[in-house]
Amino acid sequence: MTESTATDRYIAVDFFRGLTIVFMIIVNTAGDWEHIYPPLRHAVWHGCTPTDLVFPSFMFIIGVSMWFAFAKYGRRWSAEIGWKILRRTVILFVIGLLLNKFPFYWKDWDSWRILGVPQRLALGYGLGSVLALTLNRKALIWVSAGLLLLYWAILWKFPIMDHADPYGLHTNAVRVLDRFLFGDSHLYHGDGIAFDPEGLLSTIPAIVTVLLGWLSGELLTSRATQKDLLVRDLLVFGLICGFIGLAWDLFFPINKKLWTSSYVLYAGGISMVLLAASVWVIDVRGWRNGTGFFLAFGANALFAYVFSEALIMTLSAIRWEGPDGMISLSQWIYDTVFRPIEGAEFSSFLFAFCYMLVCWLLCRWLYVRKIYIKI
């Protein structure tokens, strides 16, 4: 198999990418945040729910996609590819900044959040690309292990105060660094305090999530003519990473908001297992019925995510005076169409599911017309 046709042979890669977008949209757009099915909630702090696996799975599949995308450059560093990586990194980061303020760019400049999901994608992609294109496989594995150990050492050795929990919400080094660099007002406050789950320091282990994807992409092409063995190898490596992550959890807790090293291996291992299952079902067994739904998202994955975030923000920003005070358009739609449906968790989920379908309609329209919006 030639490298240029690798992605055509692995429909599972685009399927997996689309699958992650489906769940990213659903878990981000509940109709009522007070009523959510437990698997669709993030862990409060330590621990991992199915929802906590969505974001690292997307970063993982970005790494896989990088392996195929850089094939035309020989997967070697050059000035040309360096400028392309820098351009995409900056664009992604700026999109994240704009989303954090969307659509109210004219006010509250002193509370503009600096970091976020697209920013983490940008830094993970940019820094991960540099490492992937300048190091061989063996060196990448050693560097990845070193980054995970370095991050553990930083958090363990630099608590905010003596005898404090180095992995606590208030006392971790990620929060300390972000507060020092950006100030409290420019951080996320969803946990009740100034703490950013996409913190600058926790970008270190997030890079390894991307590199695990890159290494998996390399495995896809090295076993291109032996897909049964490929599935076996991905499954084995995934189980090994997952079990190491679970064992490390005893000393360095699995925690998405800190993106701990144990979390990287645990989530990365599950991503490898899911990719192995996807390759086996779709590319080995040839069972492709229903994959078109996910391929529509997978073909324009980053655009789909950005669009879904911008649209729900727009619906939430359109407000008017209601009988019980100000109400947004998104709240009115939920109250009018979905809340009357029996079961608070179900109606909340149904809103998110239907919203995902609205986003899918646009992506399907683009996919059918072979329009691919690169971000």
> What is the predicted pLDDT for the residue at 45?
96
pLDDT tens digits, 16-27: 999 999 999 999
| Closest-CA residue to 270 (of 9, 11, 23) | 23
> What is the predicted pLDDT for the residue at 163?
66
- Phi first, then psi, for residue 202 (nearest 5°) are -75, 0
> What is the predicted pLDDT for the residue at 224?
64
CB 21 within 8 A of CB 58: yes
Give the mean pLDDT of 326-340.
94
Give the mean pLDDT of 193-203.
96
In this prediction, residue 7 has a pLDDT band, given cuts at 50, 70 and 90, of very low
pLDDT at 144 over 50: yes
pLDDT at 269 over 80: yes
Q: Distance between CA 193 and CA 180 in Å, rounded?
A: 15
Query: Which is more confidently placed, 245 or 229?
Result: 245
In this prediction, residue 4 has a pLDDT band, given cuts at 50, 70 and 90, of very low
pLDDT tens digits, 239-261: 999 999 999 999 999 999 999 99
Give the mean pLDDT of 99-128.
90
| Three-class SS of the chain | CCHHHHHHHCHHHHHHHHHHHHHHHHHHCCCCCCCCCHHHCCCCCCECCHHHHHHHHHHHHHHHHHHHHHHHHCCCCCHHHHHHHHHHHHHHHHHHHHHHHCCCCCCCHHHCCCCCHHHHHHHHHHHHHHHHHHCCHHHHHHHHHHHHHHHHHHHHHCCCCCCCCCCCCCCCHHHHHHHHHHCHHHCCCCCCCCCCCCCCCCHHHHHHHHHHHHHHHHHHHHCCCCHHHHHHHHHHHHHHHHHHHHHHCCCCCCECCCCCHHHHHHHHHHHHHHHHHHHHHHHHCCCCCCHHHHHHHHHCHHHHHHHHHHHHHHHHHCEEEECCEEEEHHHHHHHHHHCCCCCHHHHHHHHHHHHHHHHHHHHHHHHHCCCCCCC
Query: Which is more confidently placed, 345 or 107?
Result: 345
CB 308 within 8 A of CB 28: yes
Q: Distance between CA 211 and CA 96 in Å, rounded?
A: 22
Q: Distance between CA 293 and CA 363 in Å, rounded?
A: 10
Q: Distance between CA 7 and CA 65 in Å, rounded?
A: 8
CB 270 within 8 A of CB 238: yes
324 by Cβ neighbours in 10 Å (0-12 / 13-18 / 19+) ranks as exposed
> What is the predicted pLDDT for the residue at 222?
83
pLDDT at 6 over 50: no
pTM, whole model, 2 decimals?
Answer: 0.93
Q: How many CB atoms lie within 10 A of CB 322?
A: 12
In this prediction, residue 3 has a pLDDT band, given cuts at 50, 70 and 90, of very low
Query: What's the residue count for the chain?
Result: 375
pLDDT at 149 over 60: yes
The amino acid at residue 370 is K
Q: Distance between CA 71 and CA 358 in Å, rounded?
A: 34
Beta-sheet pairing, 325-328 with 319-322:
antiparallel
> What is the predicted pLDDT for the residue at 55?
97
pLDDT tens digits, 68-111: 999 999 999 999 999 999 999 999 999 999 999 888 776 778 88
Give the mean pLDDT of 114-128.
97
Query: Which is more confidently placed, 290 or 212?
Result: 212
C-alpha atoms less than 13 angstroms from C-alpha of 13 in its C-beta half-sphere: 25
